[in-house]
Chains A and B, each alone.
Chain A
Amino acid sequence: MSKEPARTAPRPSPRPNAYMHTQPFWDAAEQGHLVIQYCCATGRFQHFPRPVSLYTGRRALEWREVSGRGTLYSWTLTLSPWPGHEGRVPYICALVDLDEGVRLLANLYHCEPKTLRIGMPVQLVWERLDDRFNYPAFEPVVEP
């Protein structure tokens, strides 16, 4: 008799456009491009998307593609999952500082916790969440 898997909620999928018009982010993600909100007045990026610039309070914002390269700022190995993530344990959540000067929370893949060091270079990888979403994640840059 096979063991029945524990019944859990599915992994949460993003809900675009619920608090802001974020469709450009997800459309670009679908094409494999990471776009981040950019303040036209100060030339600085901000993430998550907001109705106004963090820096000026004004609405002169646009979406700009970023390199997807950055460094590991901090990380945590999750052993007690958030609801919907039970099947993924253990998994790494990380803060990544992009070269463009903005920080993202994302999963980190293709690495072992013991090899991680804060400040190490990381790069963007896309995770296919379901048939609707590419979700940004990162992996260590392998030294040649």
Chain B
Amino acid sequence: MRDVAIVAYGETKIVLRSGRSAYDLAGEVMDQILGRTGIDKTEIDGVCVTEALSQTENSFWPQYVCEMLGLSPTWLEVVALGGASPIGGVARAVAAIRTGLCRTALVIAADAQPSGRPPEQGAQRFEFLYPTGLHGPVGAFGLIMQRYQHLYGLKDAALAKLAVTQRNHGLLNPNACDKLRVPLTEQDYLQSKRVSTPLRLLDSVLVCEGANGVLLTSDDNARRLGFEMKVFLTSYAEQTHYNLTEPLAEITESGFLSAGPRAFRQAGLTPKDIASFHPYDDFFMAVLLQFEHLGFCERGRGCDFILETDLSYRGKLPLNTGGGQISAGQPRLAGGGVNLVEAVRQLFGEGGERQVADRRNALVTGIGGIPYARNWATSAVLILEQ
């Protein structure tokens, strides 16, 4: 449906240590959006906040955000889908606008260093995970990569190509973390140390701080407010705990096998129609699996597809044109908004030096959560169209 659109975006620079709070970073994003659109902040009557690692101790985080930013919404939501939260938030805001709970929604994500105790994700982990020493998501992806290597073979050259492609994009992104804005060669990737075999250090993100957000409103209201830049939200699908009742589920299979076809069907598109691809990239292995699970290539053919396809911003299928999280930095749980904002920026034609030629549409994904002995928890797919 072409009834709700993103009409603005904002993003702070991604930094290693800001010395600032998530509130302050969120305020910078809202200021950018108000400055760009020229609207009064009283037009914002809906707010969706991504849960922040720095605020897991704060049960009232979304209300605090609104109190800090001077917003009095008629619809307020917090989304806790890990890295899928920002695009999950966009989908929920679309639903809220369609059902009249609000008219104009700010979907915002901000994260920084925790001010209190470190985040707690305990439950069963204290008994059945932490004593084994599996290294969090790095360990979980080590297990997924080893399994994939066994089933299909893993080509180092394909992973190295992803690393170099995204780094080259990040070099052109002024908002990328400065520490990552240095050239990278395939050799650099291949020589980076293994942290949880076969996973290398440069397979994963650097945890940073920052904030990002988008402003949504109905197409009717966008006309009233005089917005000419519009990106329509034509399709969204989400899957949490794919195959949960199968205790021996294949860990190289993800919820994208379920969410992908639903999203494409709703948009009336196929993978061949996608003009640029902005997959959630906590690890390059996740990008490889998404090429397969979303149907860009057959299962087990992801490495060949990567090697055969020009994934640069000038190529056949531009990939994470801002560098992705791996080469722009992951602002903790606001990381899911990095590739979303980049996709909107590209469709607005504001990609600068890295602008893609084909601005018809973009596919953005989100991944969140690491369950026990499985693939990831949530897979989410968002299709944006002009």
Contacts and interface: CB of A to CB of B under 8 A. Distances in A.
Contacts of B197: 76-77, 79, 113
Interface in A27-65: 44-49, 54-55
Contact of A105 (B135, B195, B247, B373): B373
A18 B133 contact: no
A93 B195 contact: no
Contact of B147 (A44, A74, A91): A74
Interface in B129-166: 129-136, 138-139, 142-147, 150
Contacts of A81: 133, 135
A47 B133 contact: no
B127 A78 contact: no
Interface residues of A, number: 48
A66 interface: no
A128 interface: no
Contacts, number: 129
B144 A48 contact: no
Most buried by B among A13, A79, A104: A79
A78 B150 contact: no
Contacts of A135: 131
A80 B251 contact: no
Given A18-B122, A95-B373, A107 B248 contact: no
Interface in A73-121: 73-82, 84-85, 88, 91, 93, 95, 97, 101-107, 113, 118
Most buried by A among B133, B146, B197: B133
A22 interface: yes
Contacts of B373: 95, 103-105
B131 A80 contact: no
B124 A49 contact: yes
A12 interface: yes
A82 B146 contact: no
B363 to A, nearest CB: 29
Interface string B161-196: 000000000000000000000000000000001111
Contact-size category for B: 35 or more
A15 B125 CA distance: 9
A44 to B, nearest CB: 7
A75 B144 CA distance: 9
Contacts of B123: 18-19
A104 B131 CA distance: 13
B87 to A, nearest CB: 28
A82 B127 contact: no
A84 B125 CA distance: 14
Given A22-B127, A76-B146, A91 B251 contact: no
Contacts of A103: 247-248, 373
A129 interface: yes
B227 interface: no
Contacts of B133: 11, 78, 81-82, 84-85, 88, 91, 93, 107
A102 B309 CA distance: 39
A54 B129 CA distance: 19
A101 B248 contact: yes
Contacts of B195: 78-80
Contacts of A49: 124
A79 B130 contact: no
A132 to B, nearest CB: 12
B247 A54 contact: yes
Interface of B: 122-124, 126-136, 138-139, 142-147, 150, 193-199, 201, 244-245, 247-248, 251, 372-373
Given A48-B127, A76-B143, A133-B131, 7 more contacts: A11-B133, A14-B126, A18-B122, A76-B139, A78-B134, A80-B195, A95-B251
19 contacts: A12-B130, A14-B126, A18-B126, A45-B247, A48-B127, A54-B247, A75-B143, A76-B143, A76-B199, A77-B194, A79-B196, A80-B195, A80-B196, A82-B139, A85-B133, A95-B251, A97-B248, A102-B247, A103-B373
